[in-house]
Structure 1
Amino acid sequence: MLHIPALGAKSEIAVYEGRTEESLDLGSWHYPGTASAGEPGNFVALGHRTTRPAPFHDLHLLKRGDRIEAADSAGTYTYKVVEIRVTSSSDRRIVDPGSFGTLRGSSGRYLTLVTCHPLGSSAKRLVVVAEQAVPVSGKR
């Protein structure tokens, strides 16, 4: 689960394993091969903005410094937004934790949220990058 307080009423977002349309129809999905929440590396989640249930509809409202919590069976991990950018729909660097290296500190633990941009179009991608802000509170 993701909890994004800045999104108000839509702040709770389910994250499913598996790269399927069914996962996207339920919430968002964890991009295969990327880190899990709280682990070193880049935990990447993708979700729709305009089709049901549109969990990332208001992602454009986030600002640098906003808090994002990712929770799983091992614990809850807090991240702070460090970058928001629009990129091409073919940009695969978004899953690489080193691609934004100059913007990140030394935690080595990142969360990247990806959705289509602009609203109603899949021409580009809106990418929100967050870095783990506090020590791991889970078992990892």
Structure 2
Amino acid sequence: MYYYPMKKINKKILIKTLLIIIFLVLVGIVGINSRKNVNTTDNSSQLETNNPTPQAKFKDFHLEITKLNISAPVIANVDGKNKEIYDSALENGVAQFAGTANPGEKSNIFIFGHSSYYLWDPGEYKTIFAKLNDLDDDDLISVWWQQKEYIYKVTDKKIVSPNDVSVLKPTESEQLTLMTCWPIGTIDKRLIVIAKPN
């Protein structure tokens, strides 16, 4: 009878010991990986010092709004009339409406994104434009296109009907138009932010 309780105690001790060992191994792996990342960062900064040529921050189409802490890839030439296509694109960033201008083309660059979306659907950008209404006149927006940064200054903000396609029309001078559903959690209206080259 004495052997049974000892076996139970030994099993408990064994399980606890194994859990501690697993925990320590995992902590060690994380520590080693973080050191590798630090070393990689240190080496890259040394390379940058030796290489005086400026590097583009983003190689592809990208949108940044520092005030709102937004940084997202722009998926180019997305068919905004085909829900299946644009929903798929919006899982991976914000989208440029097909047929609108690219930065530097002196016309309307139209980019749209979610203010809210179903939590269970895939993608990290379901609320990327939730704070778009917090932009004020003169706030800056950066768009990276073909390794070049284009900076725009907010000049207007308005709410329009979902059927108002005038916001998609080409413009005589370059402008950036951002659009999202409004109010958050609905598809009743569209919030439009217009910005001109800075």
| TM-score (norm. length: structure 1) | 0.83
1:95-134 aligned at under 5 Å gives the runs 95-98=168-171, 108-133=173-198
The structure 1 segments of at least 4 consecutive aligned residues displaced by more than 6 Å after TM superposition are: none
Measure the CA separation in 1 of the matches of 2:144 and 2:71: 11
Q: Give me the identity figure in percent.
A: 31
Greater share of residues in strand: 1
Is the 1:97–1:110 Cα contact (8 Å) retained in structure 2? no
**In the alignment, is the contact (CA less than 8 A) between 1:38 and 1:132 conserved in 2?**
no
Cα deviations by residue, 1:83-110 (Å, 9 ceiling, x for unpaired)? 0000101000111244xx8xxxxxx111
- Structure 2 residue aligned with 1:16, among 61, 75, 90? 75
Counterparts of 1:38 and 1:79, CA distance in 2: 11
**2:165 aligned residue (77, 82, 92):** 92
Partner of residue 111 from structure 2, selected from 45, 66, 73: 45
Letter in 2 for 1:56: F
Q: Tell me what 1:66 maps to.
A: 139
Q: Give the number of equivalent residue pairs.
A: 123
Secondary structure at 2:91 match in 1: helix
Listed as ranges, the gaps of 5+ residues in structure 2 are 1-61, 80-84, 118-122
Render the CA deviation track for 1:58-91: whole Å, top value 9, x for unaligned.
Answer: 1011001000010011511000000000010100
Aligned-partner Cα distance in 1 for 2:157–2:165: 16
TM-score (ref. length: structure 2): 0.59
Aligned equivalents of 2:104, 2:189: Cα separation in 1: 28
State the alpha-carbon separation in 2 of the partners of residues 39 and 6 from structure 1.
Answer: 26
Aligned residue type for 1:13: A
8 Å contact from structure 1 (residues 81, 131) kept in 2: yes
The secondary structure found in structure 2 opposite 1:26 is: coil
Question: Higher relative contact order at CA 8 Å, sep ≥6: structure 1 or structure 2?
Answer: 1
Classify the secondary structure of the residue corresponding to 1:55: coil
User: Is the 1:88–1:123 contact (alpha carbons within 8 Å) kept by the matching residues of 2?
Assistant: yes
Cα distance, 1:26 vs structure 2? 1.2
- The alpha-carbon deviation at position 27 of structure 1 amounts to 1.3
State whether residues 100 and 170 of structure 2, in contact with CA within 8 Å, keep that contact through their aligned partners in structure 1: no
Structure with larger Rg? 2
* Root mean square deviation of aligned Cα: 1.4
Instruction: Tell me the secondary structure at the aligned position of residue 156 of structure 2.
Output: strand
